[in-house]
């Protein structure tokens, strides 16, 4: 979809459709007011008759409204004016775009971006309108023999800004939103692709493809002998049961000065998690194709910053493998040696994410990073704690945690911080190795983060557990593309080398 920015009166737009808002209690937005005046009170009359009450996300499509130059006028309910915030703004945009995509308009001029949203400037509204619009029209149909046809798909959205002086900020914001949306699309596509196709090798190929598409990205894909050479015994213990060979993927993006230390993103790339010998129960096991969504979000974020040519240095690291049971598989009680030299007693082979991340986090040391952020569908306990709304955030540095939380808030891709107190560490004590890979069930997401913290002592680090937010279940089943918006917003905030 294409986006442009414009400033001007709604009644004068020669467009297939003009989209204006109506608040609860029949209060017209400024742009609806202008249409109403041009049409001699037609909008007010419709509202008086009770056909549009302004309930949030409700829509009413009008044709040939007199006094206007557009073919259609779409009224969108905005809810109560004083409650019109981030969520409501995004919901209104989504409702409008869904309707436009299903009806006859190829293009439209949207005035919702002119509405005031508490604490948010016009740039925020434009960026989010683009991200939400792209999300609303996303479909994953490459696996269907007969893709469902959208008869007249929406091709172009023009977003209106209040003043001509807002045009430049609007253009920049639209480009940002589009880059984030493209990154999310990539993350969603990779996440939705089934485990028989989205293998570690496939992820390696997609990394090389990304580097071909964006010459500012350099990709290296290490195979099993090279991973062995690095001494990644923890990572390799997870891939042992699988017939699919593992990959260790490195994406380097260097567009700030050489001496600027890079920000490193690490993504969990388990392309299917059966649990291994600690086999998972069958219900919903198909969800475990999403166990590479951390990796997918790293790919998506790298794509977004490359599209924007951000002046930063970023490295993406993805350990990718399958977790399968077999005669070769790692068994509960096995002890493995990580790249850091620390030994781990694998008490549960289903706690495999931390085992592959451990070695990737040690590998990150060679970049002398400014900060390292890992992203992983790490624990089911995260879903219990925060549901499907916020990701869990853990960090050994409070300034880094605050920056990430703020980026999540800005991007409406929120995270919530949980503690990493020393008191939780003893859960990992082992009588036989340096420590175990699991504690008891209590505080499962925190002890998982504690495990990772033993591999991140040399730098500032944060861990984002996305088990609850990486994908949706039920009717809207599918990958969400989160936390690409959070990560991209955070990285863009680091342009100019301001410290984390």
To which H or E segment does residue 91 belong? Answer: helix 86-102
Asked if residue 332 lies in contact with residue 346, where contact means CB atoms within 8 angstroms, the answer is yes
Of the residues 11, 114, 166, 273, which one makes contact with Mn ion according to CB under 5 A? 273
444 touching Zn ion, by CB under 5 A: no
User: C-beta of 277: minimal distance to Mn ion in Å?
Assistant: 11
User: C-beta of 451: minimal distance to ligand BES in Å?
Assistant: 10
How many Å apart are CA 306 and CA 489, to the nearest integer?
Answer: 13
- Binding partner selected for residue 332 from Zn ion, Mn ion, ligand BES, none, CB under the kind-specific 5 to 8 Å limit: none
354 is catalytic: yes
What is the footprint of Zn ion within residues 254-273 (CB under 5 A)?
270, 273
What is the footprint of Zn ion within residues 330-359 (CB under 5 A)?
353
The two tokens of residue 5 are 């920015």
114 touching ligand BES, by CB under 6 A: no
The residue among 231, 427, 422 whose CA lies nearest residue 343 is: 231
Nearer to Zn ion, 54 or 353 (CB): 353
User: C-beta of 444: minimal distance to ligand BES in Å?
Assistant: 5
To which H or E segment does residue 461 belong? Answer: strand 461-465
The residue among 372, 344, 313, 322 whose CA lies nearest residue 497 is: 313
14 is catalytic: no
- Binding partner selected for residue 57 from Mn ion, ligand BES, Zn ion, none, CB under the kind-specific 5 to 8 Å limit: none
How many Å apart are CA 373 and CA 120, to the nearest integer?
Answer: 27
> What single DSSP character describes residue 147?
P
- Binding partner selected for residue 131 from Zn ion, ligand BES, Mn ion, none, CB under the kind-specific 5 to 8 Å limit: none
Of the residues 237, 377, 395, 494, which one makes contact with ligand BES according to CB under 6 A? 377
Residue 382 CB burial class (10 angstroms; 0-12, 13-18, ≥19) = buried
Q: Which residues pair with 254 in a beta bridge?
A: 313
Q: Out of 268, 289, 354, 482, which one is annotated catalytic? A: 354
Residues 452, 457, 459, 462: what is their CA dihedral angle, to the nearest 10 degrees? 30
Tell me how many residues contact Zn ion (CB under 5 A).
4
Residue 483 CB burial class (10 angstroms; 0-12, 13-18, ≥19) = buried
Quick note: the x/- pattern for Mn ion over 302-341, rule CB under 5 A, is ----------------------------------------
- Quote the radius of gyration of the chain (alpha carbons, Å): 24
381 touching ligand BES, by CB under 6 A: yes
Of the residues 467, 479, 486, 487, which one makes contact with ligand BES according to CB under 6 A? 467
Stretch in the footprint of Zn ion (CB under 5 A) among 183-191, 208-216, 229-237, 288-296 = 288-296
Q: Out of 280, 311, 331, 337, which one is annotated catalytic? A: 280
How many Å apart are CA 235 and CA 165, to the nearest integer?
Answer: 53
Nearer to Zn ion, 289 or 454 (CB): 289
| C-alpha atoms less than 13 angstroms from C-alpha of 55 in its C-beta half-sphere | 7
Q: Which active-site residues does the annotation give? A: 280, 354
Interaction site with Mn ion (CB under 5 A): 273, 350, 352
């Amino acid at each position: 979809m294409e986006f442009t920015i414009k400033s001007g009166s709604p009644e004068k737009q020669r467009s297939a459709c003009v989209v204006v808002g109506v608040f609860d209690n029949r209060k017209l937005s400024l742009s609806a007011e202008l249409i109403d005046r041009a049409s001699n009170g037609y909008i007010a009359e419709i509202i008086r008759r009770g056909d549009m009450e302004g309930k949030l996300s409700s829509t009413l499509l009008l044709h040939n409204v007199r006094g206007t130059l557009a073919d259609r006028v779409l009224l969108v309910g905005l809810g109560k004016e004083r409650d019109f915030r981030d969520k409501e703004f995004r919901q209104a945009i989504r409702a409008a775009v869904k309707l436009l995509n299903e009806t006859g308009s190829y293009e439209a001029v949207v005035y919702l971006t002119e509405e005031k949203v508490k604490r948010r400037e016009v740039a925020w509204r434009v960026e989010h309108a683009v991200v939400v619009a792209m999300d609303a029209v996303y479909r994953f149909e490459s696996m269907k023999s007969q893709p469902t046809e959208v008869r007249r798909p929406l091709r172009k959205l023009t977003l209106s800004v209040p003043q001509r002086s807002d045009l430049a900020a609007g253009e920049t914001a639209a480009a940002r939103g589009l880059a984030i949306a493209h990154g999310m699309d990539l993350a969603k596509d990779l996440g939705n692709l089934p485990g028989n196709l989205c293998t570690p090798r496939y992820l390696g190929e997609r990394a090389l493809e990304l580097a071909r598409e964006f010459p500012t990205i350099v990709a290296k894909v290490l195979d099993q002998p090279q991973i062995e050479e690095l001494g990644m015994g923890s990572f390799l213990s997870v891939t042992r049961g699988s017939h699919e060979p593992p990959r260790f993927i490195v994406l380097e993006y260097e567009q700030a000065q050489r001496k600027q230390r890079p920000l490193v993103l690490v993504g969990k790339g388990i392309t299917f998690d059966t649990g291994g010998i600690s086999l998972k129960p069958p219900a919903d096991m198909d969800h475990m194709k999403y166990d590479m969504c951390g990796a997918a979000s790293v790919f998506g974020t790298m794509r977004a910053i490359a599209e924007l040519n951000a002046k930063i240095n970023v490295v993406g690291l993805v350990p990718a493998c399958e977790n399968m049971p077999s005669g070769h598989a790692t068994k509960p009680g096995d002890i493995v040696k990580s790249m850091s030299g620390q030994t781990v007693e694998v008490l549960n082979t289903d706690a495999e994410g931390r085992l592959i991340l451990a070695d990737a986090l040690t590998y990150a040391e060679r970049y002398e990073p400014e900060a390292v952020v890992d992203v992983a569908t790490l624990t089911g306990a995260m879903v219990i704690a925060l549901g499907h709304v916020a990701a869990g955030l853990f960090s050994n540095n409070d300034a880094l945690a605050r920056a990430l939380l703020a980026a999540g808030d800005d991007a409406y891709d929120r995270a919530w911080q949980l503690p990493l107190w020393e008191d939780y560490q003893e859960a990992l004590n082992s009588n036989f190795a340096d420590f175990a890979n699991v504690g008891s069930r209590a505080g499962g997401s925190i002890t998982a983060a504690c495990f990772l913290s033993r591999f991140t002592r040399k730098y500032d680090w944060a861990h984002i557990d996305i088990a609850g937010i990486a994908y949706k279940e039920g009717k809207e089943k599918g990958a969400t593309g989160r936390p690409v918006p959070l990560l991209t917003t955070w990285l863009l905030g680091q342009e100019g080398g301001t410290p984390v």
